[in-house]
A and B are shown apart, each in its own frame.
Chain A
Amino acid sequence: MAKPMHPTPNLDQLETGPWPSFVTGLKRLAKDKDYMVDVLGHLEHSYQTRKGYWKGGTVGVRGYGGGVIPRFTEIKDENGQAVFKDAAEFHTLRIMPPPGMHYDTATLRQLCDIWDKYGSGLIALHGQSGDIMMQGCTTENVQKAWDEINQMGFDLGGAGPAVRTSMSCVGAARCEQSCYDEAKAHKAVINSFLDDIHRPALPYKFKFKFSGCGNDCMNAIQRSDMAVIGTWRDNIRTDDELGQKWFAKHGMNELINDVVSRCPTKALQIKDAGSVRGVATGDDHISAVALDGKQCLEIDNKDCVRCMHCINVMTGALAPGKDKGASILVGGKSHLKIGGLMGTLVVPFMKLDTEEDREKLVEMAQSIIDFFAENALEHERTGEMIERIGLVNFLEGIGLDVDPHMINTPRTNPYVRMDGWDDEVAKIEAKKQAAA
């Protein structure tokens, strides 16, 4: 039995309503833990005064410089003593989950046991960077909890100016739209940067995210400095049986309104079965799926940008091709300091089938992080650095050739010194000839 509860009239109101209540969970913990009694008191004080009262500090585990988020109470009495003394320290351990956030129950139970023993009993699944957030631990218990969690085979995630914990979608494990093995790429990349995760020494944070297709379920384009987003080069695959099944259920109106007219590049057309282009007509970039005996949906894969919409609507009837891989985008971030940025495409396509392919991905990540470490200003994200120095300087720095896939449009102003034009044309010609 724990000490008596503080009155929590505000938090009590968050126990009503049908959605699962975190307050009810905290109160259950408070039955046995003085720690949680005071955490609830602390939180209620925030609700009453509408302010936060945790400050940071320095708490860590042996050998690492990050991964623990220290929190000390700022609610003090006139003598400088913590008002909620059992919750004076409320640190979080960020733990990197398995890619795709798969668990067996034994693992979750073991994490719970450790956290009941050393921590508050509060675990967030998961934080916004993808960590298992073991929330609420005293300074004294941080190392003890870490020792047991580490012995389970888990490692601390990133915090501060470091490579951060990553996320990958469920992907190949369960999704037919997956274009590479997200979990393997995730693990290969992140486990190559453990020193940069555990010992923060970069200009600012650096995030990787791995999405298996353009639906980008991990929000990689906007939430990561280096986004690996799946795509494919060959034709959309089709299944006539599933196509006819879809059409029988949904009909022509839905096909036109929801599929054909929503294609962003007008790559879809409805054709009579006899007039579909294909290998026979010298068009090897055409996919066609049967709708009924008479008509087909024809896709010109040269025009298709792999946006995923038609595949989302007609799942199974349409599917990504077989020559799969990923695009790489660099520089996504949120508002601070110059405003939100989407990632910019810097590699239209790379294969990610083999260990060797993934090694190339790691090498590219390494060259980007090296350039970032050398060239970014303090507290400047990769996207801000590129904004400041220009994409071309960044590409030259990491050894990538320019490519028209990287732009929406060419330059719309003449304000650039161009006396190197002939040299650049000559270089491109020389490369073409060398490749031929």
Chain B
Amino acid sequence: MAEAQALRKAVECGVPDNDKYMHPTLLKNRGNWKYHDRPRPGVLHHVAHSGDQVWSVRAGTQRQMDTYTIRKLCDIAEQFAEGHVRFTIRSNIEYIVADQSKVDPLIAKLEGEGFPVGGTGNSVTMVAHTQGWLHCDIPGTDASGVVKSMMDQLYDEFKTEQMPNRVHLSTSCCEINCGGQADLAVIVQHTKPPKINHDLVANVCERPAVVARCPVAAIRPALVNGKPSLEVDEKKCICCGACYPPCPPMQINDPEHSKLAIWVGGKNSNARGKPTFMKLVASGLPNNAPRWPEVNEVVGRILRTYKADARPWERMADWIDRIGWPRFFEKTGLPFTKYLIDDWRGSRANLNASNHVRF
């Protein structure tokens, strides 16, 4: 039997059908919903053309979950909801119930167990984030820790809907930016070229592939101490870290010189203006584990300014579009340095080719 098990062939079954997992009222009304509203922060109320209704109660989680936490979430689903849950792209859990009377006890239970109810509408919802020191092979920081620190600070904004529009956050542990575009993102920004262990390069790295990986052609093959290795033209190097994943002996992470940067104004939605990329607005923040106070100070400052100044329905990008970049830097008190003027390909499109000036 043990041997038969060991020889089991994979069943290449692919993505499972979701019919059997979803709440029966969702299945029954699939593709036939009429409208929704939000009776309170953290609760979505959907009404189907059939007249059926469901309430979805959304709560924040820590994403990196131990099995005890997942079982606790299951206990709550079985005792206070109807046994069906789903997760959002931002690691929030949603409990779906067809009986309105279950909503308040469910909220009380979730809050009692430490899961904040919120993350809907004009809230600051949970941060989309990456793996970091816990599991990644190239991380500059620990996204889970940065996120925990940020969400502690933004806890009340998660539980209320007091922002001008929804606020999506992300964090990324390197410049690859697996966390993705967001209204505000915290991303590692390296500031020094890689430190190369020339003893290891020849054995560990496929050198032509590493040369090809560099966005600015700063890497070339070289013989160092009689060994085939790679060298970096440090005048050309933009410290992006792209060479590090294919060649770990080119260490880019540095406890002091790997900094954190803040980006704002990314928007994937097509609502109002077309989708936008986020823009780099602050850098040089220390990688100050375990609570990253300097990062939190800037994040808090930008979000408070946005909250006070933006009009209803303006996302971060819409707000800055209206007030202009000079006033963004003035209102947030962030320094506008020469590094924020784009010189990458296509950069002319990011310069002001007009005499549009706000005074």
**Chain A interface residues (CB < 8 Å from chain B):** 10-11, 13-14, 16-23, 25-26, 28-29, 39, 43, 46-47, 49-56, 61-64, 69, 71, 90, 92, 96-105, 107-109, 111-112, 115-116, 121-128, 130, 135-136, 143, 146-147, 150-151, 153-156, 166-167, 169-170, 172-176, 178, 181, 183, 186-187, 190-191, 194, 198, 214-223, 229, 239, 242, 254, 257-258, 262-264, 305-309, 312-313, 315-316, 319, 334-340, 342, 377-379
Q: A14-B148, A115-B67, A337-B215 are in contact. Are A172 and B290 (CB under 8 A)?
A: no
Q: Quick one: given A109-B71, A379-B213, are A13 and B135 in contact (CB under 8 Å)?
A: no
- A215 contacts which chain B residues (CB < 8 A)? 269-271
Closest 6 CB pairs of A and B: A316-B35, A17-B152, A214-B270, A25-B66, A46-B133, A191-B14
Given A20-B60, A105-B85, A186-B15: A315 and B35 interface contact (C-beta under 8 Å)? yes
Which B-chain residue is minimally distant from A154 (CB atoms)? B16
Contact with A along B246-283 (1 / 0, CB 8 A): 00100001010010000000101111111101000000
Contact A128 B21 (CB under 8 A): no
Smallest CB–CB gap between B244 and chain A, Å?
11
B36 touches A176 (CB 8 A): yes
Q: Could you say which residues of chain A place their CB within 8 Å of the CB of B34?
A: 176, 239, 316, 319
A50-B135 in contact given A128-B179, A198-B12 (Cβ < 8 Å): no
User: Dominant SS at the B interface?
Assistant: loop
- Report A-chain residues with C-beta under 8 Å of the C-beta of B345: 338-339
- Contacts A191-B15, A315-B37 known; 14 new A-B pairs at CB < 8 A: A10-B289, A10-B290, A19-B62, A52-B136, A102-B84, A108-B71, A125-B63, A146-B10, A147-B8, A183-B18, A215-B269, A219-B89, A306-B270, A336-B176
Instruction: Give 5 A-B contacts (CB < 8 Å), ordered by A residue.
Output: A20-B114, A47-B289, A125-B70, A176-B36, A336-B242
Q: Is A150 within 8 A of B10, CB to CB?
A: yes
Residues from chain B with a CB closer than 8 A to the CB of A254 are 312
Report the separation of the CA atoms of residues A342 and B83 in the bound assembly, to the nearest whole angstrom: 39
Contact B215 A336 (CB under 8 A): yes
B359 on the A face (CB < 8 A): no
Q: How far is the CA of A360 from the CA of B12 in the complex (A)?
A: 23
Which of B25-33, B99-107, B221-229, B327-335 is the interface stretch? B25-33
For the complex formed, measure the closest distance between the CB of B105 and the CB atoms of chain A, giving whole angstroms.
17
Rounded to whole angstroms, the CA-CA distance of A53 and B136 in the bound complex is: 9
Residues facing A in B118-159 (CB within 8 A) are 128-142, 144-145, 148-149, 151-152, 155
**Mask of B199-223 contacts with A, CB within 8 angstroms, 1/0:** 0000000000100110100000000
Contact B14 A96 (CB under 8 A): yes
Asked if A172 contacts B31 (CB within 8 A), the reply is yes
Task: Indicate whether A187 sits within 8 Å of B26 (C-beta atoms), given known contacts A174-B54, A335-B175.
Answer: no
Question: Is B180 part of the contact surface with A, judged by Cβ < 8 Å?
Answer: yes
- Considering the chains assembled together, what is the distance between the CA atoms of A47 and B273 in angstroms? 41
Q: Specify which of A29, A104, A172 is in contact with B84 (CB 8 Å cutoff).
A: A104
The B67-112 residues at the A interface (CB cut-off 8 A) are 67-71, 73-74, 77-78, 83-89, 91, 93, 96
Q: Which of A13, A101, A166, A221 contacts B87 (CB 8 A)?
A: A101
**Contact residues in B for A191 (Cβ distance below 8 Å):** 14-15
Q: Is B236 an interface residue (CB 8 A)?
A: no
A342 touches B275 (CB 8 A): yes
Contact of A334 among B21, B33, B96, B177 (CB under 8 A): B177
Which of A11, A112, A136, A337 interacts with B213 by CB under 8 Å?
Answer: A337
Q: How many residues of B contact A (CB 8 A)?
A: 119
| Cβ-based interface call for B346 (8 A) | yes
CB distance from A93 to the nearest CB of B (A): 12
A105 touches B78 (CB 8 A): yes
Among B26, B139, B145, B269: residue with most chain A CB under 10 A: B269
Chain B 281-327 interface residues, beta-carbon cutoff 8 Å to A: 287, 289-291, 311-313
Q: Does B338 contact A (CB under 8 A)?
A: no
**What total count of A-B pairs have CB within 8 Å?**
363
A124 to nearest B CB, angstroms?
Answer: 5
C-alpha gap A222/B134 in the complex (Å): 26
Cα separation A216 to B16 with both chains bound (whole Å)? 23
In whole Å, how far is A322's beta carbon from the nearest beta carbon of chain B? Answer: 12
Partner of B60, one of A19, A47, A50: A19
Q: Which B residues form the contact surface with A (CB < 8 A)?
A: 5-6, 8-18, 20-23, 26-27, 30-31, 33-37, 46-47, 54, 56, 60-71, 73-74, 77-78, 83-89, 91, 93, 96, 114-116, 128-142, 144-145, 148-149, 151-152, 155, 173, 175-181, 209, 212-213, 215, 240, 242, 248, 253, 255, 258, 266, 268-275, 277, 287, 289-291, 311-313, 344-346
Q: Are B87 and A125 in contact (CB under 8 A)?
A: yes
| Minimum distance in angstroms from B88 CB to a CB of chain A | 8
- Cβ distance A183 to chain B, nearest Cβ, rounded Å: 5
Residues of A within 8 A of B10 (CB): 61-64, 146, 150, 155-156, 198
Min distance, Cβ B229 to any Cβ of chain A, angstroms: 19
Q: Does the CB pair B272–A218 fall under 8 Å?
A: no
Query: Looking across the interface, which residue of chain A has its beta carbon closest to that of B277?
Result: A340
- Shortest CB-to-CB span from B351 to chain A, Å, is 16
Residues from chain A with Cβ under 8 Å of B273 in the complex: 264
What is the bound-complex CA distance between A166 and B61, given in angstroms?
Answer: 22
Task: Please give me the residue from chain B that is nearest to A314 by CB atom.
Answer: B35
Given contacts A101-B86, A336-B242, contact A190 B14 (CB under 8 A): yes
Which residues of B lie under 8 Å from residue A242 when comparing CB positions? 35
- Cβ 8 A contact of B74, one of A28, A108, A126, A181: A108
A12 to chain B, nearest CB (A): 8
Known contacts A47-B289, A98-B15, A176-B46: does B137 contact A25 (CB below 8 Å)?
A: no
A23 to chain B, nearest CB (A): 8
| C-alpha spacing A100/B240, complex, angstroms | 34
Complex-state Cα separation, A308 to B273, whole angstroms: 11
Q: Is the CB of B135 within 8 A of A90?
A: yes
B169 to chain A, nearest CB (A): 13
User: In the complex, are the beta carbons of B148 and A128 less than 8 A apart?
Assistant: no
> Please, which residues of chain B bring their CB within 8 A of the CB of A316?
34-37, 47
Residues from chain A with a CB closer than 8 A to the CB of B175 are 335-336
With beta carbons under 8 angstroms apart, the residue of B64, B136, B313 that contacts A313 is B313
CB-CB < 8 A to B8: which residues of A?
Answer: 62, 147, 150
B22–A100 contact, CB under 8 A?
yes
B45 to chain A, nearest CB (A): 11
Q: Is the CB of A128 within 8 A of B128?
A: yes
The closest CB in chain A to the CB of B127 belongs to A19
Give B272's nearest chain A residue, CB to CB: A309
Given contacts A103-B86, A128-B180, whether A173 and B12 have CB atoms under 8 Å apart is no
A25 near B78: Cβ-Cβ < 8 Å: no
Smallest Cβ-Cβ distance to B270: which chain A residue: A214
Q: Are A219 and B268 in contact (CB under 8 A)?
A: yes
